[in-house]
Homo-oligomer: A and B are copies of this chain.
């Protein structure tokens, strides 16, 4: 097990496996509920890997997944690279700051890549908060003709041993 890179120290509370559930909505789709697993790991370099999978709460069918890397720069600055099977890649800039019992990570997309058959996503905002041992993951997006960042997802996850 590698030692955590000093620039990743502010991200330390994320490391491990988180499970929970959430709800999603967007003007173009029916509301839905999902279960989520979110895994953060590191190899001693100045980044944290991230993989996410969600399933339909009712049927158990796989819904979304994504995989990427949170790059930790000095001073709590962050960069995120992310790939999705929906044909979308995201590059975010943001920050992490420590709170009394957790952290707050705020990220805004700087660039969104799309394959020719992907649905249009123009902008994404992500927020990860850890408080009271709970990880709250929220996402806003501007997509499929909606130019404003609209709230899309909110999940609450607990750390697994």
Hey, which bits of chain A sit against chain B, CB under 8 A? 2, 43-45, 47, 49, 51, 62, 65, 67-69, 71, 73, 79-85, 87-91, 93, 110-111, 113-118
Contact = CB atoms under 8 A, between A and B. Distances in A.
When all copies of this chain in the complex are counted, the total is 2
Pick the most buried of A47, A89, A116: most chain B CB atoms within 10 A of its CB.
A89
A77 to B, nearest CB: 9
Pick the most buried of A44, A80, A81: most chain B CB atoms within 10 A of its CB.
A81
Contacts of A81: 83-85, 87-89, 113, 115
Given A81-B84, A81-B88, A110-B115, 15 more contacts: A2-B62, A49-B85, A65-B69, A67-B68, A68-B83, A69-B84, A79-B87, A80-B115, A82-B89, A87-B91, A89-B89, A89-B111, A91-B115, A93-B115, A93-B116
